[in-house]
């Protein structure tokens, strides 16, 4: 197997209780779509990158149905702010803040995310 040269091995990390928790390589994500990740305490997060390559993470549970599915929603942007639309009943959530755009009273958890070049151990 050849190693694709454009693979930069940039790692995506999430802040959980003041620790940066590595989730996956950035290249595992398609712009505009998400993946789900499991946190050490069993919580689920939905991780996305938008078209510019900026990453975001929010809780994976859809508060309207209880199902853990937000990672499978479609990403869009409104007024320049990226959101994910739940695949079940289509409510939209701001990816940066977790605020529901279709119901003022609902907010889901939003996580801080960063990218970093993976240390050799992870390569």
Residues at the site binding other proteins, with contacts judged by CB under 8 A = 22-24, 28, 30-33, 35-38, 42, 44, 47, 50-51, 61, 63-69, 72-80, 82, 85, 87-92, 102-103, 106
Among residues 58 and 92, whose Cβ is nearest to other proteins? 92
In the complex with other proteins, which residue's Cβ is closer, 5 or 42? 42
In whole angstroms, the minimum distance from the beta carbon of 20 to other proteins comes to 14
Q: Which is nearer to other proteins, 89 or 117 (CB)?
A: 89
d(CA 33, CA 73): 7
Q: How far is the CB of 21 from other proteins (least distance, A)?
A: 9
- What b/e string do you get for 29-60 counting C-beta neighbours within 10 Å, with b at 16 or more? beeeebbebeeeeeeebbbbbbeeeebbbbbb
> Rounded CA gap, 123 and 113, in Å?
20
Closest listed residue to residue 33, CA positions, set 54, 12, 47, 13: 47
φ, ψ of residue 92 to 5 degrees: the values are -105, 145
Nearer to other proteins, 47 or 110 (CB): 47
What's the closest the beta carbon of residue 117 comes to other proteins, in angstroms?
Answer: 18
Q: How far is the CB of 18 from other proteins (least distance, A)?
A: 19
Cα separation, 88 vs 93, whole angstroms: 13
């Amino acid at each position: 197997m050849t190693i694709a040269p454009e693979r930069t091995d940039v790692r995506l990390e999430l802040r959980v209780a003041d620790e940066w928790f590595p989730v996956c390589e950035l290249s595992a994500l398609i712009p505009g779509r998400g993946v789900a990740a499991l946190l050490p305490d069993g919580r689920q997060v939905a991780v996305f990158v938008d078209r510019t390559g900026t990453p975001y993470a929010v809780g994976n549970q859809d508060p309207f149905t209880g199902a853990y599915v937000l990672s499978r929603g479609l990403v869009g942007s409104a007024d320049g702010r990226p959101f994910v639309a739940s695949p079940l009943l289509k409510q939209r959530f701001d990816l940066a803040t977790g605020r529901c755009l279709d119901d003022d009273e609902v907010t889901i958890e939003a996580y801080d995310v960063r990218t970093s070049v993976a240390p050799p151990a992870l390569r």
